[in-house]
């Protein structure tokens, strides 16, 4: 399977999900990565599931090796950590699936849509300000994702001076989710610049409809 086809094929290794997307440098090229780094880059995935407890139970039966020691305590323990700690997402990282190295996060569909609509944590919503690749569509989530894009555009416009360029606007959008963390601000502002430099056509396409409504 080619790397392009591998994105969709990856889902066949997991229990069904309501919505899924891939993101990061393994999906869309970012400046500063060599060809070798891109070829070996870990694929970042997010799975939205309607019933996390049931999903983890099935996934533990199917892919128990993906989990840390917490998985030995069962699906209930994993789901408790997912829903009560941090941004409501549980990650399994450095997993080899279908010949690809991946990291996948599991989030309750309601938690995801709430973040997209209201920026309750801006964790996944912030990732979805940038280009992502949808692997499993879901109309309610995608409607919330559009609201998220409109909110990002509105917030970024408020941060602009009287005269600004397309590039600085997109850099502001890509940097929104990092702006509250002083530790990451310098590094991630550079990362936002790199994303815009290599993904400008994708950003234009992503924000075309929200911009048409301004």
Domain membership of residue 42 as a residue range = 3-212
Nearest-angstrom CA–CA distance, 146 and 20: 16
Q: In terms of DSSP H, where are the helices of the chain?
A: 3-9, 35-40, 52-63, 75-84, 109-118, 123-127, 139-158, 166-175, 182-212
pTM recorded for the entire structure: 0.90
pLDDT, one tens digit per residue, over 149-163 is: 999 999 999 999 999
Structure tokens at 56: 């983890």
- pLDDT at position 3 is 56
> Beta strands 100-108 and 43-49: pairing type?
parallel
What angle, rounded to 10 degrees, do the helices at 139-158 and 166-175 form?
Answer: 120
Residue 1 confidence (pLDDT) above 60:
no
What domain count does the chain have?
A: 1
Chain-wide mean pLDDT for the chain? 90
């Amino acid at each position: 399977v080619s790397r392009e086809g591998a994105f969709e094929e990856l889902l066949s290794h997991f229990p069904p999900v309501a919505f899924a997307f891939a993101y990061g440098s393994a999906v869309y090229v970012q400046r500063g990565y060599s060809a070798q780094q891109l070829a070996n880059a870990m694929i970042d995935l997010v799975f939205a599931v309607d019933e996390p407890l049931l999903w983890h139970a099935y996934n533990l039966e199917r892919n128990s090796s993906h989990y840390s020691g917490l998985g030995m305590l069962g699906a209930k323990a994993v789901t408790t950590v997912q829903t009560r700690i941090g941004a409501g997402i549980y990650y399994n990282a450095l997993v080899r699936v279908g010949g690809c190295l991946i990291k996948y996060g599991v989030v309750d569909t309601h938690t995801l849509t709430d973040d997209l609509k209201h920026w309750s944590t801006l964790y996944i919503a912030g990732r979805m300000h940038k280009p992502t690749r949808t692997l499993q569509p879901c109309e309610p989530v995608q409607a919330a994702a559009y609201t998220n894009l409109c909110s990002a555009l509105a917030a970024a416009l408020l941060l602009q001076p009287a005269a600004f360029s397309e590039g600085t606007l997109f850099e502001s959008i890509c940097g929104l989710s990092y702006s509250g963390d002083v530790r990451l601000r310098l590094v991630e502002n550079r990362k936002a610049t790199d994303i815009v430099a290599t993904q400008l056509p994708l950003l234009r396409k992503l924000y075309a409809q929200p911009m048409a409504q301004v």
